């Protein structure tokens, strides 16, 4: 028993260590180290913006992940604009005016995207209502089952006493 | 009524099925260009053949033209090239080249050996004009009208079919517009 606990403990440590290591390599794998930011804050902001922009060429990667030349260029543009003190919305405007809304992983909230933003909430609500409806129906049915007439009560008692004998 | 409710999952499945099935045939590379309806971004670039000659928007404006983004490192451009040569011989409209993120010597050599369909070639080695045009890969082509407004963007190599079905009808229409404007 003690041996098992010990083993588990070691395994746990091993897993968390490898997780930390993995996160570290993931951070190192970003191509950021080739670019010198003016400040740490700029770096954090630039990375968060680039993470939310989609590479127009490798369409399922963001600007940080992608190795395509376009992503490399756009990444650099984002970094430079951040260092030049441009605001987030200015940078996003720069990108969408060239590559379209398509590059936004987080689309703007507008009539065109209401379904996208509110759809999941609507589905959740529908599921909730259906669930509530079903539960209510179910519980009302069990209520009906529980209330027995006097005759039925007597029959039940008879059956039970018969079983005992 | 109760039986109808039982059919709801089937109905949802069918709707989803139709939508997803249609999705199979959409081309994810075909993105709307935001630049359609916008003027060609302003630029000042060297001429491919001559580093001392600076070109800007005025050099490629005035008539309906085709702006073609190309590079020697791009295999699809090599596929597209013979068609551009034939198109250039027909003298329908001027083709301007944007040599995108390329090396000057390699590009000049390629044009010398394979033929040069371009009236002018802009040397965009930094990809700056490409970026302003929202280019994400070569080849890419833009139909520009007589006022220098981008009217259509075509991603991928132009071939006979793309030209006759999509581009040529638009060219004819744009040229008719240009003639109309000249007459007034």
**Do residue A4 and residue A39 come from a single domain?**
no
Residues in chain B: 184
pLDDT of residue B126: 86
**Do residue A74 and residue A23 come from a single domain?**
no
Last residue of a domain, one of A60, A87, A108: A108
pLDDT of residue A12: 60
Largest CA distance in chain B: 81
> Nearest by CB to A100, which of B34, B101, B133?
B34
Q: Which of residues 73-102 of A touch B (CB under 8 A)?
A: 73-74, 77, 96-100, 102
The radius of gyration of chain B from alpha carbons, rounded to an integer in Å, stands at: 21
Chain B residue whose CA is closest to A96 = B34
- If one looks up domain B34-183 in CATH, what number appears? 3.40.30.10
CATH of the domain at A62: 1.10.8.640
Interchain pair B131, A77: CB under 8 A: yes
**Do residue A104 and residue A141 come from a single domain?**
no
Strand partners, A15: none
**Do residue A153 and residue A133 come from a single domain?**
yes
**Do residue A127 and residue A148 come from a single domain?**
yes
**Do residue A29 and residue A43 come from a single domain?**
no
pLDDT 10s digits, A34-75: 788 888 888 899 898 988 888 887 778 888 888 887 888 888
Q: Which of A76, A91, A69 is nearest to B136 (CA)?
A: A69
- Residue A31 in contact with residue A78, Cβ under 8 Å? no
**Do residue A51 and residue A102 come from a single domain?**
yes
**Cβ neighbours of residue B99 under 8 Å, at least 6 residues apart?**
B48, B70, B71, B107, B121, B122, B123, B124, B125
Domain count, chain A: 3
The residue-averaged pLDDT of A103-131 equals 88
**Do residue A60 and residue A81 come from a single domain?**
yes
Whether residue A81 is predicted with pLDDT greater than 60 in this model: the reply is: yes
**Do residue A41 and residue A28 come from a single domain?**
no
Last residue of a domain, one of A63, A88, A108: A108
Whether residue A162 is predicted with pLDDT greater than 90 in this model: the reply is: no
ipTM rounded to 2 decimals: 0.71
pLDDT of residue A6: 65
**Do residue A137 and residue A159 come from a single domain?**
yes
Which chain B positions have a beta carbon within 8 Å of A69's beta carbon?
Answer: 101, 127
pLDDT of residue B171: 93
For residue A79, give its domain range.
Answer: 35-108
């Amino acid at each position: 028993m003690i041996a098992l606990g010990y083993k588990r403990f070691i395994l746990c440590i091993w897993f968390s260590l490898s997780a930390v290591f993995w996160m570290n390599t993931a951070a190192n794998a970003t191509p950021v180290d080739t670019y010198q930011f003016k400040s740490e804050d700029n770096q954090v902001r630039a990375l968060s913006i680039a993470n939310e922009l989609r590479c127009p060429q490798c369409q399922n990667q963001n600007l940080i992940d992608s190795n395509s030349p376009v992503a490399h260029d756009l990444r650099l543009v984002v970094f430079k604009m951040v260092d030049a003190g441009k605001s987030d919305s200015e940078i996003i405007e720069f990108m969408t005016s060239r590559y379209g809304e398509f590059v936004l992983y987080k689309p703007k909230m507008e009539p065109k995207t209401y379904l996208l933003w509110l759809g999941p909430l609507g589905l959740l609500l529908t599921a909730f209502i259906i669930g509530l409806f079903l539960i209510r129906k179910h519980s009302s049915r069990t209520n009906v089952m529980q209330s027995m007439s006097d005759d039925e009560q007597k029959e039940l008692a008879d059956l039970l006493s018969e079983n005992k004998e | 009524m109760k039986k109808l409710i039982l059919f709801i999952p089937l109905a949802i499945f069918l709707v989803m099925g139709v939508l997803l099935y249609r999705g199979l045939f959409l081309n994810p590379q075909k993105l709307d260009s935001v630049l359609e309806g916008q003027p060609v971004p302003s630029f000042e670039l060297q001429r491919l053949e001559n580093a001392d000659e600076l070109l800007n928007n005025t050099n490629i404006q005035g008539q309906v033209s085709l702006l073609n983004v190309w590079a020697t490192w791009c295999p699809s451009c090599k596929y597209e090239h013979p068609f551009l040569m034939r198109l250039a011989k027909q003298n329908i409209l001027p083709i301007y080249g944007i040599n995108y993120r390329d090396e000057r010597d390699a590009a000049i050599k390629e044009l010398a050996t394979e033929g040069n369909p371009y009236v002018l070639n802009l040397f965009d080695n930094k990809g700056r004009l490409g970026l302003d045009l929202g280019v994400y890969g070569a080849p890419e082509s833009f139909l520009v009208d007589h006022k220098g407004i981008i009217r259509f963007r075509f991603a991928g190599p132009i071939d006979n079919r793309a030209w006759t079905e999509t581009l040529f009808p638009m060219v004819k229409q744009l040229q008719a517009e240009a003639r109309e404007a000249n007459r007034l």
